[in-house]
Structure 1
């Protein structure tokens, strides 16, 4: 099947891109465009050429299916295609509807004329992959919409509606009605009037105060993107559009692109991009599996988590029934949801009428009977199996056949929970992360009997509520919390050995985490981790205790919620302040354990925390809990604040070298206070390291 179609409408040839879903500029598309132009050039009856895509997309840019394959670089490459377009003796008109992004926009910029429909979306999003536009985008766009507007678009990668640039040279005409008919009519006018061919490269990009502007731009962009080199390279390239000839500017752009594509930051961002797309493919669930219809949602529990979950569905226009057992708890939940919406209105992020419309979709209740018609019910109650059992037995009794019953459990056995019902095929885990209305990650937990259509529904629904969904098998803690327990364990053991809370958190934050492990524990609530540890101590009597954390919890120091944890917190503030009382607890625990404190380096702190994640991640992969290493990376990038520019724990281990990871672990195992079994490399990690391979 051809990826382009050539047709003639009188004196106008039409080259239609046909590479669903977004007309990616794959090799067959690029070849088809060049062949179509040659055909038009050879036909004296053809006076103009229209280049058009579909209503959904002119072109979304590079075809991601060809990334890292020979086809991605094969001639004609995009630069060659644009040269053919630009040097055509016939006027070439780009007809833009839907998405016109990346290389697709660069192709349109190479055309002599551009017509568009209002609502078409344009962007140069390459910076989000740690790159810059590499086919002339940094040189042509400033010549059409102005230097400042172009730089803002390129540095941010933002998508903007076409009508924002109505009246600029970017668009020659806006079409009402059918895009092709409008483009053909415009092409005939160009031919009849004998309009000269407009090559963007022949225009000039100017700024009244270029030196001052680019000095300011570098300062602002550098401050906002300190861990990413691409935005500053974008500034360099756009400056070249102003200060150099077009060909010299293209050379600057090309050199920057080649340099950036080799950086670890770009590799990490591209890895995250592909990881998100891979995560949507679930083993054993065919892409055409029909999803169940979700028109109403029930949520049990109006606490912080339940309220946050409710907001996701209200924002998507899905009615929510919010159930609590006591009126005062229900009132607190409603007040919390209203407060969040009022805050968004106050900040100008949401119009007041929209906030009211969303809030009006919420029905509070104290009765399970109001859940009878819900298509999906999510429980967000206390993390204790007996509580979950009571909820699911009741749901099994009241919910209609075909309703999906989801648990927001973060650690408990989903198969046991499903066993409390007579419909285990309808039970699934939907583990949101706090604050649920903000955090992107949704762990979808697949039980032994969870139906394929239930999984397909949850994955589709995640997109509706703007979450990144990753499927996990059933184990204690699933992917994210099972691994984070190992990370937290090492952080706590290093407190015993001689590190301070501030040093541990400081080293991890310097590595790039949004928050250190002890601050994170205080934010989540120490009582939550303590409850999990107590359960695990009972289930595994040989499990090593984490004495300092347990002792602080015994004192009622549960973190920010109580004003004290590993740090102290002043009322109304979230600043983690040093607390001498914690020093006293740490000193007492060290004496109790017979530990002489030693000095730990920041490097050791980072390696022990991160490699603990990696080793447990390898076990999770080998056990089939996670489908792929990139799923684990995605969990940590979207749910745990792992630095995006490092690509996630598994990709970071790949970049360090798995042999080096294993060597470091051998050193930690030799530590007198270390745990030899803990630092024994997972079989998968040991095997890949020995074979010189990687996780990804």
Structure 2
């Protein structure tokens, strides 16, 4: 049994040490062995998981393993992972959900810290060998070792802030004492991960090594003994009381502009922790535990943890291998060009077609600029450009596994494309439309095989917006839809299955938000005030700026389409909006719209003026009302996916957990009453959807998802 287990680990092409003294009968998640030089190898391989995470039982086993190591006193200790995916991806987030008592959190995190401190106190040389991802708690385990060695592809970071937290296993103090404290704080405040070579320059790791050199590197590290780093004069100065106060002041100002303390307390708590206790190792470590416990029980942290699981839920929708290797995109405009560029970056062969050579040329130039920002690595940029093949003849159609149509939002233009494309499709290939709002029933009319036709609605910009709506119609086959969901996941986007309907989900819900903002502007409310009300609620940008970003012509087309096809009322389009569109004042893309734009950046006047909750409700509640309509009418049949789609497709305030979660937290009775009040004041467009009472009769499970009361009673 022992030889078989160790042999399986060796088959993964990772150097994990010898098999001679392997002990696996006491551990489910770890393997402990001793090599010929009397160096202990402690290998993590979490049972039943594709990636290692630190759960309570994993840490309890680590504690037992460290006890054995203390007793047997090997010459040194090596910690590494047997997973191909990486070292340790952080804490097991499932254990954070639903906890509301900070004392319980403090007890749990104190116990976890005791185990990590035990590793830190070992009086033998300790070495962490990292590959893949070393994040959060995994990086904190590595920081407790004397030396940290990483393979070139390793990514290291503290993403806790994205969950409304900061490191809680000693990471705040160990990182700020190990490296430049400002760099360490920046790393924790942003949540960004860094490649191994940059991490070495920062002082976070000691060496970057190739897999074939692991054994030699371990011998050198162990023979070198424990290593302590002499802090530079600059580090000592920044860690002094005056230095911390000065640096913390600047950090606080920059952080507030991006993550207001009212909505995102974690980065501000981290700054305060370092500013107040950064000069005292033991005190800062003790205060880190208390601060972590206070943060974990906040609504922000619990909602951001919910968002993490919403992302995992949507990834699972597209779980499975895709057979797509070649994508053909018709239309090299802003959307088609970026869809093609993104697919090529993700490793697919892409042919991009357009009737105008100058449009193709612009798309290729934009793709190169995108790759310089995203890929950065010269070889990756070159390879992606090699996979992106422009042309005006459409020869790629015959070889493509999927053809994505991204031509203007006109039914007759799209139908002409399908007439030309469908006869050229190879057997089994899929034809997908990137339409943002047109019902697929209007587009499929002349298709010979509508079962292989569906919607694949990307959001602009494709490189940043994670959501893709996978749009079905009653003649689309289940196989087609499943293939599109898997394809979406394979290019690192999140699929949201929706049914064909005017505007689908996201545009149907977003348009009332945009149009209400324009109507308030028409009433005389300053645009800066309208946008600030939305932004202070937590939206990434207000409706006026968003309309300019999307394009006033597109907003007008979608609004007209929805108004013509929906039973529900929408705000009337102000006459001046049509005049702006006719005059070519379309927003960001023309340099002038509702705002002026310079070099792609909005030019705002910092106008004063207060606003009351009524403005915020006029913007946000119609969005919630439309979401309930979409759920009631079956446009989307899963509330988790609905919340996720609105967060990842519109930027709906992540710290609120999604529109449905926000409605429950606010209390649905209050939402209904507020809609009725607005209906009396402003008209029938605010009438509460008939679906609200069903949500009102539901409760929330610990994941924050509404559960019908009948199911709750059965449980």
Partner residue in 1 for 2:250:
220
Deviations 1:297-325 (A, max 9, x none): 2211222222232222343353432323x
| Preserved CA contact (<8 Å) 1:298 1:371 | yes
Q: Measure how far apart 1:274 and its partner are.
A: 2.0
CA distance in structure 1 between the aligned counterparts of 2:395 and 2:54, rounded to whole angstroms:
53
CA distance in structure 2 between the aligned counterparts of 1:565 and 1:200, rounded to whole angstroms:
55
1:606 to 616, 622, 635: 616
Deviations 1:507-531 (A, max 9, x none): 3234343332234334433333443
CA distance in structure 2 between the aligned counterparts of 1:23 and 1:354, rounded to whole angstroms:
28
2:50 to 15, 18, 21: 21
Partner residue in 2 for 1:689:
696
| Preserved CA contact (<8 Å) 1:297 1:375 | yes
CA distance in structure 2 between the aligned counterparts of 1:212 and 1:278, rounded to whole angstroms:
46
1:332 to 348, 353, 359: 359
| Preserved CA contact (<8 Å) 2:79 2:127 | yes
- Structure 1 residue 398 corresponds to structure 2 residue 424: yes
- Greater mean alpha carbon deviation, residues 258-267 or residues 22-31: 258-267
Q: Measure how far apart 1:87 and its partner are.
A: 4.0
Indicate the SS of the match to 1:280: helix
- Structure 1 residue 254 corresponds to structure 2 residue 289: yes
Q: Measure how far apart 1:18 and its partner are.
A: 0.9
Partner residue in 2 for 1:303:
333
1:549 to 555, 574, 581: 574
Partner residue in 2 for 1:234:
270
TM alignment of 1:56-95, pairs within 5 A: 56-68=85-97, 77-88=111-122, 91-95=125-129
CA distance in structure 1 between the aligned counterparts of 2:122 and 2:376, rounded to whole angstroms:
48
2:552 to 526, 536, 540: 526
| Preserved CA contact (<8 Å) 2:585 2:593 | yes
Closer, same or farther: CA 633–216 of 1 in aligned 2, 3 Å: farther
Indicate the SS of the match to 2:456: strand
- Greater mean alpha carbon deviation, residues 104-113 or residues 374-383: 104-113
Deviations 1:258-292 (A, max 9, x none): 2222334333432322221111122xx7x4x4422
| Preserved CA contact (<8 Å) 1:95 1:183 | no
Q: Measure how far apart 1:136 and its partner are.
A: 0.4
Closer, same or farther: CA 418–397 of 1 in aligned 2, 3 Å: same
CA distance in structure 1 between the aligned counterparts of 2:211 and 2:598, rounded to whole angstroms:
59
Closer, same or farther: CA 565–663 of 1 in aligned 2, 3 Å: farther
How much is the aligned-residue C-alpha RMSD, in angstroms?
4.0
1:372 to 364, 376, 398: 398
CA distance in structure 1 between the aligned counterparts of 2:290 and 2:505, rounded to whole angstroms:
40
1:155 to 173, 183, 189: 189
Deviations 1:576-600 (A, max 9, x none): 789xxxxxxxxxxxxxxxxxxxx99
TM alignment of 1:650-689, pairs within 5 A: 650-671=660-681, 673-675=682-684, 678-683=686-691, 685-689=692-696
Deviations 1:24-53 (A, max 9, x none): 112332122122223334447x55443221
| Preserved CA contact (<8 Å) 1:204 1:242 | no
- Structure 1 residue 312 corresponds to structure 2 residue 342: yes
CA distance in structure 1 between the aligned counterparts of 2:429 and 2:439, rounded to whole angstroms:
21
- Structure 1 residue 270 corresponds to structure 2 residue 305: yes
Closer, same or farther: CA 49–649 of 1 in aligned 2, 3 Å: same
Indicate the SS of the match to 1:395: helix
Indicate the SS of the match to 2:399: coil
| Preserved CA contact (<8 Å) 1:563 1:571 | no
Partner residue in 2 for 1:596:
none
CA distance in structure 2 between the aligned counterparts of 1:570 and 1:105, rounded to whole angstroms:
42
Indicate the SS of the match to 1:388: helix
TM alignment of 1:24-173, pairs within 5 A: 24-43=53-72, 46-54=74-82, 55-68=84-97, 77-88=111-122, 91-164=125-198, 166=200, 171=205
- Greater mean alpha carbon deviation, residues 452-461 or residues 659-668: 452-461
Indicate the SS of the match to 2:307: helix
CA distance in structure 2 between the aligned counterparts of 1:313 and 1:666, rounded to whole angstroms:
46
Partner residue in 1 for 2:627:
617
Indicate the SS of the match to 1:299: strand
Q: Measure how far apart 1:401 and its partner are.
A: 1.1
Deviations 1:105-155 (A, max 9, x none): 112222344444344332222122221111101111222223233223222
Deviations 1:194-242 (A, max 9, x none): x4x6699999995125345323422332233211332233233334564
TM-score (norm 2): 0.80
Deviations 1:294-351 (A, max 9, x none): 2x22211222222232222343353432323x4xx34234225425645986x89858
Runs (5+) with no aligned partner, structure 2: 1-26, 707-715
Closer, same or farther: CA 453–86 of 1 in aligned 2, 3 Å: farther
CA distance in structure 2 between the aligned counterparts of 1:348 and 1:543, rounded to whole angstroms:
41
Q: Measure how far apart 1:558 and its partner are.
A: 6.2
Closer, same or farther: CA 551–168 of 1 in aligned 2, 3 Å: closer
Aligned length: 656
Runs (5+) with no aligned partner, structure 1: 579-598
Q: Measure how far apart 1:483 and its partner are.
A: 0.7
| Preserved CA contact (<8 Å) 1:49 1:187 | no
